[in-house]
Amino acid sequence: MLDLALSPIRQHKPDKLRQLGIMSLNGMFDEMDGAGVLRQAVTELLPGDIAIVSSFGADSVVLLHMVAEVDRTLPVYFLETGKHFPETLAYVETLKRHLGLANVIALHPDPSDVARFDAGGDLWETDPDSCCHIRKTEPLDARVSGLGGWVTGRKRFQTAERGVLPHFELTADDRIKVNPLAYFSDADITAYKLKYGLPEHPLYSKGYKSIGCAPCTSVVAEGEDPRAGRWRGLNKKECGIHFDFNGAIAKPMAAQELNLFKDGKFIADPFRPWVEGDDPAAARYTHIPLPVFLDNRDAVLANPHPLGLLVSPGDKVELARGDLDRFVSIAINFPAFTDGRGYSSARLLVERYGYKGELRAVGDVLHDQISHMRRCGITAFVVRHEPTKKALIEGKLATVDIFYQPVGLTEIPLGTRPFLRRRAVENA
């Protein structure tokens, strides 16, 4: 699971606020008076003890403009994740100049974390939560943990999930989060930008409405939720640095269980199931059923997005053998654990056709079949059966780990009699 705990020890500075009462504070300002809210926070509540975190995204300029109005020396932290669009980095410079921001501080991820967890630079693809964690949560945490509060650019209408957002929030560890734009709608933002002639993010006009790191941001369609372009297809809505109203950590994946077991742990699954009616030419992060792929081969091969292939019992994997490299993941469907056709499909894919991407088991994936699946080359498992999950997490699968028959590519011959007798490769 995500570990979003901002560092454990924090100073307590809430006495003033406690006396004041969060409710009364929230009633003090006009809904649209973002600058008033910010001024109250910076000058009255937490002078010298508050900062702002900005993504320098499409809408960031509104809040930054308010900062410039209130105190241009207020620390503005920018999460330099290393994954930003070049346009975003240019925009940081533009706004510094245009607004006269004197204290923009770039926060970089810990290079040792990057080396350890994301050496290949593709963590965003396999485990976006962990990517956010090392590139955003950790660096930010190190910087803001000592502060009494910070300013966010969250808006009430930014996504459906956020619900009622107040101007001031008290976190569980008695710190204050300030949301000057809490009552702003998209129209309010647009109007504000127009009114003050603020420079747009260079990508805004190209259809990007909510801009984060380059790999996880896509164009939002007309009428779509602005944040729909973030982590599109990843079942992820928040990057993990926001806190909810009660101060509990807003776990972006909390509502959705982690079902994908891979490399020894359950991780966020960037894929969502294929749905009847999905467009093979435009789909992304879904496993296209093999028959659909065969019927729409050209469209799928021209589709620029990451895609998987779904192999169900009865499907002939040999029909796709020349196109397997197109797929970052192949899902072997076991509609019932008693249907063993998937084992043959898996072996053919790995042993005969040399498929090297993620091979996952989906469907009725249970404890006692996992070792067979592994032997046949399956490396990831979408598991919904709770006792099976538990056994996987605890490393308590009941298995026979020495094998009579040579199968797959992950077994090593034993001793001086390599025929038949095998053992699993460690951690395979």
Partner 1 sequence: MYRYDEFDAAFVQERTAQFSDQVARRLTGDLNEDQFRPLRLMNGLYLQLHAYMLRIAVPYGTMNARQMRMLAHIARTYDRGYGHFTTRQNIQFNWPKLRDVPRILADLASVEMHSIQTSGNCIRNITTDQFAGAAADEIIDPRPVAEILRQWSSLHPEFSYLPRKFKIAMTGATADRAAIRFHDIGLQATTSKLGEIGWQVWVGGGLGRTPMIGKMISGFVPHEHLLAYLESILRVYNRYGRRDNKFKARIKILVHEEGLDSIRQQVEEEFAHLKGGVLTLPQEELDRITRYFAQPDYELVNQTTVDVAREKIVNPPYGRWLERNLNAHRQPGYVSVTISLKPVGGAPGDATDTQMDAIADLAERYSANELRVSHEQNIVLPHVKVTDLPAVYAALVDQGLADGNAGQITDIICCPGLDFCALANARSIPLAQELTRKFQSPERQAEIGDLKIKISGCINACGHHHVGHIGILGVEKKGTELYQITVGGDATENAAIGDILGHGFVADAVPDAIERLVDTYIARRTSADEPFITAYRRLGKEPFKEALYGNA
306 near partner 1, judged by CB under 8 A = no
Q: Specify the length of the chain in residues.
A: 428
Pick from 77, 184, 285, 343 the residue near partner 1 by CB under 8 A.
343
Pick from 347, 360, 365, 381 the residue near partner 1 by CB under 8 A.
347
Pick from 375, 379, 380, 383 the residue near partner 1 by CB under 8 A.
375
Residues paired with residue 106 on neighbouring β-strands, in sequence order: 78
354 near partner 1, judged by CB under 8 A = no
340 near partner 1, judged by CB under 8 A = yes
Pick from 200, 344, 384, 393 the residue near partner 1 by CB under 8 A.
344
The candidate with the shortest Cα–Cα distance to 80, out of 118, 52, 109, 57, is 109
Sheet holding 422-424: strands in order across?
402-403, 422-424, 411-413
Task: Collect all residues with Cβ–Cβ distance below 8 Å to 344 and sequence separation of at least 6.
Answer: none
Say which residue the tokens 């969060």 belong to.
Answer: 22
419 near partner 1, judged by CB under 8 A = yes
Beta carbons of 381 and 259 less than 8 angstroms apart: no
d(CA 41, CA 166): 14
Sheet holding 149-151: strands in order across?
104-107, 76-79, 50-54, 149-151, 176-178, 168-170
Task: Collect all residues with Cβ–Cβ distance below 8 Å to 379 and sequence separation of at least 6.
Answer: 262, 358, 359, 360
What's at 263, amino acid-wise? D
Write down the least CB distance from residue 374 to partner 1, Å. Answer: 8
Write down the least CB distance from residue 421 to partner 1, Å. Answer: 5
Pick from 264, 368, 393, 425 the residue near partner 1 by CB under 8 A.
368
Binding mask 53-82 toward partner 1 (x if CB under 8 A, else -) reads ------------------------------
d(CA 297, CA 320): 9
Residues assigned a catalytic role: 239
337 near partner 1, judged by CB under 8 A = yes
Q: Quick one: which segment of 83-91, 145-153, 254-262, 397-405 binds partner 1 (CB under 8 A)?
A: 397-405
Q: Which is nearer to partner 1, 267 or 373 (CB)?
A: 373
Which residues contact partner 1 (rule: CB under 8 A)?
A: 313, 337-341, 343-345, 347, 352, 366-369, 371-373, 375-376, 387, 398-408, 414, 417, 419-421
